[in-house]
Structure 1
Amino acid sequence: MKMNYKLLEYVLNNSINGVVIVENDFSIKYMNKRAKEILELVDSYENHHLYEFFLLEELDKLERQGIDEFDKLHYKNKTLSVSTLLIDNLMGYSGKAYILQDISKYKNIVDQIDKYKELNKTLECIIHSSYDGIYVTDGQANTLMINSAYERITGIKAEEVLGRNMNDLVKEGLFSQSSSLLAIQERRQVTIRQLIKQSKEVLVTSTPVFFKNTITHVVTNVRDISELVDLKIELMDTKALNERYLTELEYIKSKLIDTPEIVVRDRNMYKVIEMSLRVARVDTTVLLNGETGVGKGELSKFIHKNSPRSKGCFVEVNCGAIPQNLIESELFGYEKGAFTGASSKGKIGLFELANNGTIFLDEISELSLDLQVKLLKIIEDKRVIRLGGNKSMPIDVRIIAATNKNIKEMVEKGKFRDDLYYRLNVVPIYIYALKERKDDIIPLSIKFLNDFNRKYNMDKKLAPSVLNKFLDYNWPGNVRELRNLIERIVVISSEKQINEDIIPEYIIKKDIKTQEDGGEYSSYKEGYEGMSLKMATQNFEAKLISHSIKKYGSIKEAAKHLDIDASTINRKLNKNRKK
């Protein structure tokens, strides 16, 4: 069949692609109309070569890639898509044909698409970086995407919901209800509490996205409120606990109002009072521990007063104040003629006297080992035998014991029976020293001041500077020392306001060692130069004994605090007098 060259040329000239036929030396043999437009050629293509329009290296690269493969060529500001094919006797020509297409305008579109892709990727990264869960549907509530936070919060994986409609997911029980559906129905932002898989509760807010008054998407924010619910429950528990503490505090205060002897402002002492009230309600043995003068006696009365035994007798016994040869008869009583000098009528013991009530054994550590055995038997048997008698009498007594010594150490040294210690130490209560409860110093000072003002019909006031000095002092004698000092300054002060000039020097001084030693020990360090060790020791010993007698008011009390016998003090005093 004979080729119609005119028809072929007509077709090529009306093609949207440029066609250029060249020989092996790149000389142009044919160029259609579109190719001239692309290459902006206005005159004849004859006597032109293809390398006049394109770089040789581009053409060489195209040659190396082979036939029927696409690549790009650049001409001026244009980017051309090009493919090659071999021709043989096409329109009388043989060689290669280059098919050109100007893709510059498409490149702008591609660049825009790339930008949109990049923007979409950035937006996706932002969505997945959100701490809150995000759930996106289209305008018909079909799930388009969820972020990783949504998976973390709800436990739902993307593959469970992507492409699925919210109506179906609600029917299957994955969600209790759908805020996306509500937002589409009501055409507004909707916030609901949603239950996930009947177990996880979340707060969701769905916002419809409009385009030309049509909802195209619904964006849902999801927040895990289980932590908020837990916090709410914890807050309610804390509130209930605070209310209980407040009730207990008010109860403690009401009890303290009935016990004006006890003044409490310090937090540590509130705990002591709280423990004492709890112990008071049950009939158990209590062991009070604390330094001399902290108020063990007052606390024992407080426990008795708030116990079921409050209508019974409260009997206080100072085990260290009764001579050893009399303490047994005092505690257990005696029958007539039990010993020389005994009453002909006999005598009821303190345990019998405290029957149906409380007996307070202060300084329990001063009891001899023999008496400890008898006391243990009374506690265990709940019966007492008078001295010189043989008839045991039942007793119902609560025992509160107190000590200023470490009884556990005494047990280890064999000075106190371990079985009695464990019987007494059922509920131990430690009463803080005054230096450990600074918040009580000023209230106690004011209480004692008011007490002695009433007692002596005075109207004295304490200067603020005096109270500040009281706060700085360590009070080795505790509440008893404070009470005695207040009485002293009230009595000797000639002015209505008590100022620093009447306060003892050892309290005014800020030297810590001076405070701890009671204000006079610092002077003991002086005046020993040139003395032998023996002479210095005797001199210091004499001053220490003298100071202790003055401080504690008697040889017996001084001996107790120096941990020696009263006879030893008498012997040393007599020895010093002879000198």
Structure 2
Amino acid sequence: MKKKELLPSLKMGMRSSVNVSSEILAALLETPALHALLDSFSDAIILCDGESRVRFLNLAAERINRISRQEAIGLADSELFQRSALSFDDFQQAIGRGGYSALTRARDGRMFLTSTQAVPTGAYEKPYTLLLQRDYDGREAPRRSTAAPAPSDANGLGDPQDNALHMSPQLSSIADTGVRAFRRRARLLLLGEPGVGKTAIARHIHRAAGWGDRPFIHVNCGRIPESLFESEMFGYERGAFTGALQSGKRGYIEAASGGTLFLDEIGEIPLHVQAKLLKFLEDGSIQSVGSPLSKNVQVQVIAATNKDLRHLVSTGEFRADLYYRLAVLPVEIPPLREHRDDLPFLIDILLTRINRDRVPPLRLAIGCRQHLLSYDYPGNIRELVNIFERLAVLADDEAQEQHLPAELLESRPRQQAAAIAPSDQDDSTTEALTGPVGEPLKTQVQRHERQLILRAIHLCGSKRKAAQHLGIDIGTLIRKLQRD
């Protein structure tokens, strides 16, 4: 059998009904003959065990991902994805939605089609996972699983906060300021309530500055246990402590080398670690746990928090010198209720994203849109995204008021009164609300139709969108407006 036919045969064998125990698989992976066979393939091969830890990768996988076999063995697959020279964001999202293949991009622009499949093992054992990566030339499209997708797949939202950034005038203006500072190597501190889009703005700044092919390492400082913070951030050497990986581990800072380190929830960093982080910010050097040597790492730092760091400085919970190192340019991101003019843009872009893969397309009833435009959104953009995900699941073709969350509907009297106040409407709408008593029914119906059409245009922002939400064509809408 020719070598190019071996890989399909290997895959077919792994998909067969014959299960091999994990012990036998582990033993096979230790044999030099199997290593030599798999190393001869031009496609990258990565095998993970039932605990999602890397057990083997061939030479092609080492070359493509720019990580050595010694360094990769024992890592969780998520850690491998983070350390790889490829961007696995789309692949991980596809897997989370029930798919099994997606494109991954290298820093030099090369594209690879990455696919995954289960390797059956013995009864009551978790299956191994085989990852295959091959050069993508555009002729082979990523395949999608026939399994029922998760709601987020059907909705097509992806990362709506990130996408909405390009359509929201105020957030885009804030991000543009950040991009200018980022290009001048100034450190940014993003400030704002939870859910305002700090992570989306950080990613936008990284990409818009021309760094899209470089690493972007997002570290949520609030989710790292205090006892592990130093080793996770700075890495550790082999045998540094009990339970350490035999090969040691790169920290988040080193993983971001040449790219961007996004320190989210910076106010959660333990006080005793802040001094070491300050040293890195001052001279660019880090020292892994258990290592007597320092190394220099070049990264661009963006920090974010929803806390008042100045107050934490005054109470001694945050170092003043660290604050001034991080906050070269503090960027305040306002809550959604303070830039309500962006709401129509955000609503439209989220609706467009949902309808990208949805049949039938989702429409918003006038009352539903009115509630969405009137609500204060204490959870900010994140809450708005959550509401649209809900509407996409509950509504068939038109989202009605009853599909909205209870907390949004509870504010109805105040918001509805504001929405129908005479000062909020033009003269023609006000005229439509009044008329002589005893008019013929046909005239009253026409007046009422005109009132509804004008209100729809006011809420939707254009005649075409109003016609769509009223369920009539644009020509009919214009004729009804023009008749006396």
TM-score, normalization: structure 1?
0.42
> Matched residue of 2:392: which SS?
helix
CA distance in 1, matches of 2:186, 2:162: 25
1:508 aligns with 2:405: no
SS state at 2:163 partner: coil
- 1:321 CA displacement: 1.4
Partner of 1:461: 363
1:550-576 alpha-carbon deviations (Å, 9 max, x no partner) = xxxxxxxxxxxxxxxxxxxxxxxxxxx
* Mapping for residues 170-181 of structure 1, pairs under 5 Å: none
Does the alignment pair 1:323 with 2:240?
A: no
Q: 2:299 aligns with which of 397, 410, 422?
A: 397
Taking a change above 3 Å as real, the CA distance of residues 345 and 270 of structure 1, as seen in their structure-2 partners, is closer
Contact 2:371 2:412 in 1 (8 A): no
Matched position secondary structure for 1:344: coil
Pairwise CA RMSD: 2.3
Deviation of the 1:330 alpha carbon: 1.4
Q: Which residue of 1 aligns with 2:202?
A: 300
Matching residue's letter, 1:459: P
Letter in 1 for 2:369: L
Letter aligned with residue 413 of structure 1: T
Relative to total residues, which structure has the larger strand share, 1 or 2?
1
Does structure 2 retain, via aligned residues, the 8 Å contact 1:288–1:403? Answer: yes
Match of 1:165 in 2: none
1:418 to partner: Cα distance: 0.6
Question: Using a 3 Å threshold, how does the CA distance of structure 1 residues 452 and 440 change in structure 2: closer, same or farther?
Answer: same
Pairing 1:443–2:345 present: yes
Distance 1:502 1:311, change over 3 A: closer
Summarize the Cα distance change of 1:284–1:464 in structure 2 as closer, same or farther, 3 Å threshold: same
Give distance in 1, aligned partners of 2:273 and 2:415. Answer: 40
**Partner SS, residue 307 of structure 1:** helix
Give 1:317-396 correspondences, 5 Å limit. 317-396=219-298
- Whole-angstrom distance in 2 between the partners of 1:427 and 1:293: 21
| Equivalences for residues 490-501 of structure 1 within 5 A | 490-493=392-395, 495-501=396-402
Q: Secondary structure at the match of 2:223?
A: coil
CA distance in 1, matches of 2:229, 2:360: 41
What is the CA–CA distance in structure 2 between the aligned matches of 1:306 and 1:283, rounded to whole Å?
A: 14
CA contact (8 A) 1:459 1:496 kept: yes
Q: How far, CA to CA, are the matches of 1:499 and 1:511 in structure 2? A: 14
Partner of 2:327: 425
Cα distance, 1:450 vs. partner? Answer: 2.9
Superposed CA offset, 1:149-171 (max 9, x none)? xxxxxxxxxxxxxxxxxxxxxxx
The correspondence of residues 519-530 of structure 1 with structure 2, limited to 5 A, is none
Residues 282 and 307 in structure 1, CA contact (< 8 A), matched pair in contact too: no
Distance 1:496 1:456, change over 3 A: closer
For 2:170 and 2:362, the matched residues in 1 are separated by: 30
TM-aligned CA distance change 1:455 to 1:484, over 3 Å: farther
Q: Find the counterpart in structure 2 of residue 289 from structure 1.
A: 191
Equivalent residues of 2:237, 2:289 under 8 A apart: yes
**Aligned counterpart in structure 2 of residue 452 of structure 1, from 344, 350, 354:** 354
* Cα deviation code 1:80-102 (max 9, x no counterpart): xxxxxxxxxxxxxxxxxxxxxxx
Q: Deviations over 1:337-384 (max 9, x none)?
A: 111110000001111111111100000001010111111011112011
The one of the two structures with greater contact order (alpha-carbon pairs below 8 A, sep at least 6) is 2
Instruction: Tell me, in whole angstroms, the C-alpha distance in 2 between the residues paired with 1:389 and 1:454.
Output: 51
Aligned residue type for 1:294 = V
Residues 397-436 of structure 1 show CA distances to partners (whole Å, capped at 9, x for unaligned) of: 1100000111111111111111100110101111111111
Q: Distance in 1 between matches of 2:385 and 2:260?
A: 26
Distance 1:513 1:369, change over 3 A: farther
Q: Which runs of 5+ in 1 are unaligned?
A: 1-258, 516-579
Residues 1:416 and 1:260: Cα distance change in structure 2 (over 3 Å): closer
Aligned residue number for residue 105 of structure 1: none
Aligned to 2:387: 485
| Preserved contact between residue 263 and residue 440 of structure 1 (Cα < 8 Å) | no
- In the alignment, what sits opposite 1:151? none
2-structure distance, mates of 1:363, 1:483: 21
User: How far apart, in 1, do the equivalents of 2:196 and 2:259 lie?
Assistant: 24
Q: Deviations over 1:29-83 (max 9, x none)?
A: xxxxxxxxxxxxxxxxxxxxxxxxxxxxxxxxxxxxxxxxxxxxxxxxxxxxxxx
C-alpha contact 2:239 2:248 (8 A) present in aligned 1: yes
Question: How has the CA–CA distance of structure 1 residues 260 and 420 changed in structure 2, closer, same or farther, with 3 Å as cutoff?
Answer: closer
Q: What is the CA-CA distance between 1:265 and the residue it aligns to?
A: 5.5
Aligned match for 2:372, one of 455, 470, 475: 470
Residue pairs, 1:140-289, within 5 angstroms? 261-263=163-165, 268-289=170-191
Shift of 1:445: 2.0
Aligned to 1:407: 309
Query: Against the structure 1 CA distance between its residues 320 and 399, is the aligned structure 2 distance closer, same or farther, given a 3 Å change threshold?
Result: same
C-alpha contact 1:378 1:384 (8 A) present in aligned 2: yes
Q: Which residue identity lines up with residue 504 of structure 1 in the other structure?
A: P
Q: Matched residues in 2 for 1:266 and 1:448: separation?
A: 12
Post-superposition CA distance 1:267-301 (Å, at most 9, x none) = 54343133123213211110000110111011111
Partner Cα distance (1:323, 1:275) in 2: 34
Q: Distance in 1 between matches of 2:282 and 2:413?
A: 47
Distance across 2 between alignment mates of 1:376 and 1:476 = 34
* Partner SS for 1:317: strand
1:260–1:407: structure 2 CA closer, same or farther, 3 Å change rule? closer
How far apart in 1 are the matches of 2:349 and 2:168?
A: 15
* Cα pair distance change 1:452/1:271, threshold 3 Å: closer
Q: Does the residue aligned with 1:361 lie in a helix, a strand or coil?
A: strand
Check conservation: 1:434, 1:479, Cα contact below 8 A.
yes
Q: Tell me the amino acid that sits aligned with residue 399 of structure 2.
A: I
Contact 1:287–1:401 (8 Å) recurs in 2: yes
Give the letter aligned to residue 503 of structure 1. L
Letter in 2 for 1:468: Q
Q: Whole-Å Cα distance in 2 between the matches of residues 317 and 309 of structure 1?
A: 18
Alignment of 1:534-573 (within 5 A): none
Aligned-partner Cα distance in 1 for 2:262–2:166: 22
Shift in Å, 1:514: 11
* Aligned residues of 2:176 and 2:205 also touching (Cα < 8 A): no
Q: Which moved more, 1:267-276 or 1:495-504?
A: 267-276
Question: Do 1:281 and 1:306's aligned partners in 2 also have CA atoms closer than 8 Å?
Answer: no
- Whichever residue aligns with residue 429 of structure 1, its letter is V
